[in-house]
Amino acid sequence: GEDVEQSLFLSVREGDSSVINCTYTDSSSTYLYWYKQEPGAGLQLLTYIFSNMDMKQDQRLTVLLNKKDKHLSLRIADTQTGDSAIYFCAESGNTGKLIFGQGTTLQVKP
């Protein structure tokens, strides 16, 4: 079945890079997504990558996709306190729905 796994917690210092990892099971996924959820707020689409790409960069965000290992990562350069949030990885399986991971809580210490 479809499954997405993420580590639950990551703590970094302000100014450092953060790397959030995700593994998924559905090899037919067309797109893979990263969403950000701040406390009391909805899910904000951060970025997404098409399955035939290896990397996508968008300002401070870099997404790496290893399709062979079904591994996706999100790197945030120069992490700021405003980046503290829960980050969700999601895959679009062949069943027409997004499957989300459990979310990684990113804590940024000043």
Partner 1 sequence: DSGVTQTPKHLITATGQRVTLRCSPRSGDLSVYWYQQSLDQGLQFLIQYYNGEERAKGNILERFSAQQFPDLHSELNLSSLELGDSALYFCASSVGPGMSSPLHFGNGTRLTVT
- Interface residues with partner 1 (CB under 8 A) are 30-31, 33, 35, 41-45, 48, 88, 92-93, 95-103
- For the bound state, the minimum distance from the C-beta of residue 76 to partner 1, rounded and expressed in Å, comes to 19
Question: Residue 24 or 35: which CB sits closer to partner 1?
Answer: 35
Question: Which one, 12 or 48, has the nearer CB to partner 1?
Answer: 48
Per-position DSSP letters for 3-48, written without gaps between them:
-EEE-SEEEEETTS-EEEEEEE--TT-SEEEEEEE-TT--EEEEEE
Q: How far is the CB of 56 from partner 1 (least distance, A)?
A: 13
Q: Which is nearer to partner 1, 24 or 101 (CB)?
A: 101
Least distance from C-beta 82 to partner 1, angstroms? 17
**Any residues with CB less than 8 A from the CB of 71 and at least 6 apart, and which?**
21, 22, 23, 65
Q: Which is nearer to partner 1, 83 or 101 (CB)?
A: 101
- Alpha-carbon distance 4 to 55, whole Å? 19
Using DSSP's 3-state secondary structure scheme, residue 98 falls into strand
Q: For the CB of residue 19, give the shortest distance to partner 1 in the complex, in Å.
A: 22
